[in-house]
């Protein structure tokens, strides 16, 4: 190869060489960049499960728990109290003045059909049955008039009455009162024809066994406060199997 040909070849190769050098330089820089890239570049955030997302969505910075106020209770009127009964339920207990009014209404209602046993003279000197039943009607509502129906219609029972049961109330205007009837000691009769049968003048006392009437029962009245007056709204009786056991 002569010198002229050699020079021409060198001239042609130089551009190609520079191009190859440039390409090799770019590849080298790319390789270096790949090698020194931060390792965290390939770390990807994993998707949270549905439960985790739900929890995360409810978290509020500095969130405070909600404060629930205790339920408000209506204070009882002066003198009223709550007491647990034999059934475990809480009952309202009336103050003394209300208690006396309820007991008075109950006693008035009882007097129409029942007279507590006592001295004959005292029983005969009492008000007539018609007066007593009229007073009973005055302390009853329309649905409570059943208590004034004579049983029997021409006489009052002479009875032994137990102590008054504790008055229990479902509200400050509705209560229940009861008393046990513990036997029958006779009848107070006012009709002349009835008294003539036992050779007595009216009114008279029948001091013998009475047939057809239960000897032992509970006399129960529901009472309500109406226009400031305690009245009997319902009257019922529950027969007892016999006398209470003797006290120890």
pLDDT value of residue 15? 54
Q: Nearest-CA neighbor of 169 among 88, 111, 236, 95? A: 95
Cis-peptide, bond into residue 203, ω within 30° of zero: yes
- Where the chain has pLDDT below 50, the residues are 5-6, 8-10, 12-13, 18, 32, 34-36, 38-72, 150
Model confidence pLDDT, tens digit, residues 118-169: 999 999 999 999 899 889 989 988 766 665 554 556 789 999 999 999 999 9
Top-level class of domain 91-185+215-239: alpha beta
What is residue 52's predicted lDDT score, i.e. its pLDDT? 36
Measured between its terminal Cα atoms, the distance across the chain in Å is 150
Whether 207 and 143 have beta carbons less than 8 Å apart is answered as no
DSSP string, 17-68: HHHHHHHHHHHHHHHHHHHHS-GGGG--PPPPPHHHHHHHHH--TT--PPPP
Tokens of 89: 């339920």
pLDDT of residue 224: 96
Considering the entire predicted model, what is its pTM? 0.67
The pairing of strands 114-116 and 155-164 is parallel
Report the alpha-carbon distance of residue 231 to residue 101 in Å, rounded. 10
> What confidence score (pLDDT) does residue 197 get?
93
pLDDT score for 156? 93
Burial zone of 115 (CB within 10 Å; 0-12 exposed, 13-18 middle, 19+ buried): buried
């Amino acid at each position: 190869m002569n010198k002229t040909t050699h020079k021409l070849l060198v001239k042609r190769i130089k551009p190609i060489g520079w191009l190859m050098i440039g390409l090799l330089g770019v590849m080298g820089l790319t390789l270096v960049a790949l090698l020194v890239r931060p390792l965290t570049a390939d770390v990807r955030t994993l998707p949270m499960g549905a439960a985790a997302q739900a929890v995360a969505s409810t978290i509020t910075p500095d969130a405070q728990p909600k404060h629930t106020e205790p339920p408000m209770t209506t204070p009882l009127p002066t003198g009223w109290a709550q007491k647990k009964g034999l059934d475990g339920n809480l009952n309202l207990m009336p103050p003394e003045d209300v208690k006396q009014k309820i007991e008075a209404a109950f006693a008035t209602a009882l007097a129409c059909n029942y007279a507590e046993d006592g001295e004959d003279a005292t029983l005969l000197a009492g008000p007539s049955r018609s007066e007593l039943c009229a007073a009973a009607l005055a302390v009853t509502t329309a649905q409570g008039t059943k208590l004034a129906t004579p049983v029997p219609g021409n006489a009052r029972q002479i009875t032994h009455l137990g102590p008054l049961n504790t008055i229990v109330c479902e509200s400050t205007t509705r209560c229940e009162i009861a008393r046990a009837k513990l036997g029958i000691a006779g009848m107070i009769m006012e009709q002349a024809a009835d008294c003539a049968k036992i050779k007595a003048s009216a009114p008279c006392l029948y001091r013998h066994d009475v047939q057809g009437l239960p000897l032992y029962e509970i006399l129960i009245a529901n009472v309500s406060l109406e226009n400031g007056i305690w009245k009997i709204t319902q009257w019922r009786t529950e027969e007892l199997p016999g006398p209470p056991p003797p006290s120890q």
